[in-house]
Structure 1
Amino acid sequence: MSLAPGQIGRFEAPAHWRAIDFISDLHLDAEHPRTFDAWERQLLHTTADAVWLLGDVFEAWVGDDARHSGFEQRCAQVLKAAAGRRHIAFMAGNRDFLVGEALLADCGMHRLADPTLLQAWGQTLLLTHGDALCIADTEYQRFRAMVRDPAWQQAFLARGLAERQALARQMRDASEANKRGQMPTDWADVDAGTAVQWLQAAGAAQMLHGHTHRPGHDILAPGFERHVLSDWDLDGTHPRAEVLRLTREGLVRLAPELALALA
């Protein structure tokens, strides 16, 4: 998937900001209360000026009309409260691509294009959820093309809310069945060559993405590097969660509780 400069969103951080927190792949749902609680604390009490959510915040988002009740309403209330305190931005992932303008407007969130070029304190980073770059997973890329089509989305959103929720559960169960017995290292990773092409088109040397559930940092090619966000799961047998924070000094990985304490 090639990328033209005109397809890239752009954002310049205000000079008075001191820190931006990046998180992704929380997969929030009612069955993971500890993860939800940690996310709520992070959004409401972080010392950063901004929190940017880079996709898969929700396990499934079936339409903005879901925001009026149940677990989705609780999430919307947290987002609205957080946006009253700091800049909250959202980039769609493969689980929450149906987040629409109604939710963003109600909560006071800012939408981020995928990808977005961020310029902050003399640093330049290209931000993406990451799924579009996993081109080796051809089956997923066909699915992605289908569900990102406006006609498909219009037809899906025309169904009743309960039906959409049932369909989302079916798709989630099928996805989990396919992953059973696999580790994140078994899943398709970002294609390094395509990622470098994106960076060249954006005029950046660093990429930041989620999606792959393989947090870390590595070199894509000489002169080009990437930083991968952690997924969050504080309800399982091996709890994990991490914030990637950008300051004038660069990027640092923090446990969520440290993000609440460090100025």
Structure 2
Amino acid sequence: RDYLVGDSLLTEAGVQRLADPTVLLAFGRRFLLTHGDALCLDDTDYQRFRTQVRAADWQAAFLALPLDERQRQARAMRDASTRHQAAMPAEKWSDVDHLAAADWLAQAGAAVMVHGHTHRPALHALPGGGCRHVLGDWDLHATPPRARALRLNASGLAVLDLAAATPN
């Protein structure tokens, strides 16, 4: 899980941890990058879970468990989340609070937000003229396979369908 990624893994992978949120300055524009989960304000159950799993004592206790037990618990959490989502109509799923997202953009002096978490890839207009690009999850074993990314260049952001480029 993203909240359990430690400094040693980042170092080994040559990856830099970003604060959440982070402002990216590129091509003369400001982009706000965020996980997105902190903006799902109506999902109070998830916000409690988010607080719990980001607590240092919870993480230490979880990481002290044997690997097979951590994997079992992670599967159980994912399965419970999937069952919870399947039990309700899609329009009832908690999404990013648009007013909060617009406020974050204004505070960052940015017009574009990029986030994941909701895994409903789309481009959404926000109050005040900004927008948010939502990244989907990656699952090359799904039918159809899913793996999208965004490419940023001087022309702006473009969606790349990496799953379509993957040989079967």
Say whether the fold is shared (TM-score over 0.5). yes
- When the two structures are superposed, what TM-score results if normalisation uses the length of structure 1? 0.58
Determine helix, strand or coil for the equivalent of 1:119. Answer: strand
Which residue does the alignment assign to 1:229?
135
Q: Are 1:152 and 2:64 matched, yes or no?
A: no
What one-letter code is carried by the residue in structure 2 that aligns with 1:131? D
Determine helix, strand or coil for the equivalent of 1:212. Answer: coil
Structure 2 CA distance for aligned equivalents of residues 255 and 183 of structure 1: 27
Which residue does the alignment assign to 1:253?
159
Which residue does the alignment assign to 1:137?
43
Which residue does the alignment assign to 1:168?
74
Point out where structure 1 has 5 or more consecutive residues left out of the alignment.
1-94
Structure 1 CA distance for aligned equivalents of residues 82 and 127 of structure 2: 33
**Judging changes above 3 Å, is the alpha-carbon distance between structure 1 residues 169 and 258 closer, same or farther for their aligned structure 2 residues?**
closer
How many residue pairs get aligned? The number is 166
Determine helix, strand or coil for the equivalent of 2:2. Answer: coil
**Judging changes above 3 Å, is the alpha-carbon distance between structure 1 residues 128 and 167 closer, same or farther for their aligned structure 2 residues?**
same
The partner residue of 1:122 within 14, 28, 50 is 28
Structure 2 CA distance for aligned equivalents of residues 177 and 257 of structure 1: 26
Point out where structure 2 has 5 or more consecutive residues left out of the alignment.
none
Q: Structure 2 matches for 1:5-44, cutoff 5 A? A: none
More moved, 239-248 vs 101-110: 239-248
Structure 2 CA distance for aligned equivalents of residues 153 and 214 of structure 1: 28
**Judging changes above 3 Å, is the alpha-carbon distance between structure 1 residues 131 and 217 closer, same or farther for their aligned structure 2 residues?**
same
Structure 2 CA distance for aligned equivalents of residues 160 and 175 of structure 1: 23
Shift of 1:237: 2.7
Shift of 1:197: 1.7
Shift of 1:259: 8.0
CA contact (8 A) 1:208 1:229 kept: yes
CA contact (8 A) 1:187 1:212 kept: no
Q: What is the root-mean-square deviation of aligned Cα atoms in Å?
A: 2.2
CA contact (8 A) 2:115 2:135 kept: yes
Structure 1 CA distance for aligned equivalents of residues 18 and 89 of structure 2: 30
Shift of 1:257: 6.9
Q: Are 1:104 and 2:16 matched, yes or no?
A: no
What one-letter code is carried by the residue in structure 1 that aligns with 2:140? L
